[in-house]
Amino acid sequence: MQHLLVLCGAGDAVGPWAAAGLETRASLPVVVVTSDQLLGCRWEHRLGQGGVTSACHLVDGRSLRSSAIAGVLNRMLFVPDELLMLTHPTDRAYVHQELHAFLLGWLDSMPVPVLNRPSPQSLCGRGPGISQWLQLAARAGLRTPTYRQSSRFAPTPYEIEASLPGQPGSPTKLIVVGGRVLGATPSPSVQAGCRRLSESVGAPLIGVDFVVDGASDWQFVGATTFPDLRRAGDEGLDALVACLSDGAGGP
């Protein structure tokens, strides 16, 4: 029987919230798998002329077969720490890389909508640093502040949510779900810019932050491929169902 799959971290409250909302809207059952449940599972991953097939047999008796998965809401950021518990400390970096590559290949091989598809940076999508986000936002037509970066600065670590430091007040947060811009009602040009930004990173599900001054002055200050979907409410859940049903998040 086909179903929708929600992958999330063990402490992620958004994944179960989204799954409950999808369950009441989608025509298919919804299966939730947390990262810690991947511990001790048995994998089958087959590549052949007919394509790629996979199956993950969980210790609780459930099986995730690629042929039965109709769409994936992917909120698994990194290789779960639980998978490295029994690894010798000197081998953990290597094992982490191998597991990341395997999970990336598993998720990316699915011929169904996956929101968001993995990247070498993160299992739930591309994660540019703030300087690259600013460049992409400017190219998408969004207004961006002046930003300077120098080799004299310490390297910026990977950020799940990249944002400019020192911004006054709380930013206005928008959620893009398959081309729909939710969370507030900016001008059509800002909405179009958010859609172009989503397309430029190949992620149909992103969060975009703005500092707003008046009705028309929206300045981009940050973004993430791991947004809090609860900010989009029922509209966001409706958009998720549409994405997972019509292939908007497909390959």
For the stretch 57-82, pLDDT in tens is: 999 999 999 999 999 999 998 888 87
Out of 15-24, 89-98, 128-137, the most confident range is: 15-24
> If you average pLDDT over every residue of the chain, what do you get?
89
pTM of the model as a whole: 0.89
Q: Six-digit token pair at 238?
A: 């409706």
Q: What is the mean pLDDT of residues 1-15?
A: 93
Residue recorded with tokens 């640093």: 129
**Domain limits of the chain?**
3-115, 130-224
pLDDT at 160: 73
What distance in Å separates the CA atoms of residue 13 and residue 11, rounded to the nearest whole number? 6
User: Which positions ≥6 away from 144 have C-beta within 8 Å?
Assistant: 134, 137, 138, 219, 220
- Confidence band for 153, pLDDT divided at 50, 70 and 90: low
Residue 189's closest CA among 225, 221, 216, 222? Answer: 216
pLDDT at 148: 77
Q: State the amino acid at position 13 in one-letter form.
A: A
- 74: preceding bond cis by omega (within 30 degrees): no
What distance in Å separates the CA atoms of residue 150 and residue 166, rounded to the nearest whole number? 18
**Same fold: 3-115 with 130-224:** no
Q: Which CATH class is domain 3-115?
A: alpha beta
pLDDT per residue over 207-231, tens digit each? 999 999 876 789 999 999 999 999 9
Q: Which fold has domain 130-224?
A: D-amino Acid Aminotransferase; Chain A, domain 1 (3.30.470)
What DSSP string describes 1-22?
--EEEEEE-TT-SHHHHHHHHH
What distance in Å separates the CA atoms of residue 178 and residue 199, rounded to the nearest whole number? 9
Sheet of 42-48: strand order equals: 42-48, 51-57, 63-65
pLDDT per residue over 85-107, tens digit each? 878 889 989 998 999 999 999 99
User: Which positions ≥6 away from 15 have C-beta within 8 Å?
Assistant: 6, 7, 8, 9, 32, 34, 73, 75
Quote the longest CA-to-CA distance of the chain: 57
CA geometry: angle 65, 40, 92, nearest 5 deg: 115
Q: What is the mean pLDDT of residues 45-54?
A: 88
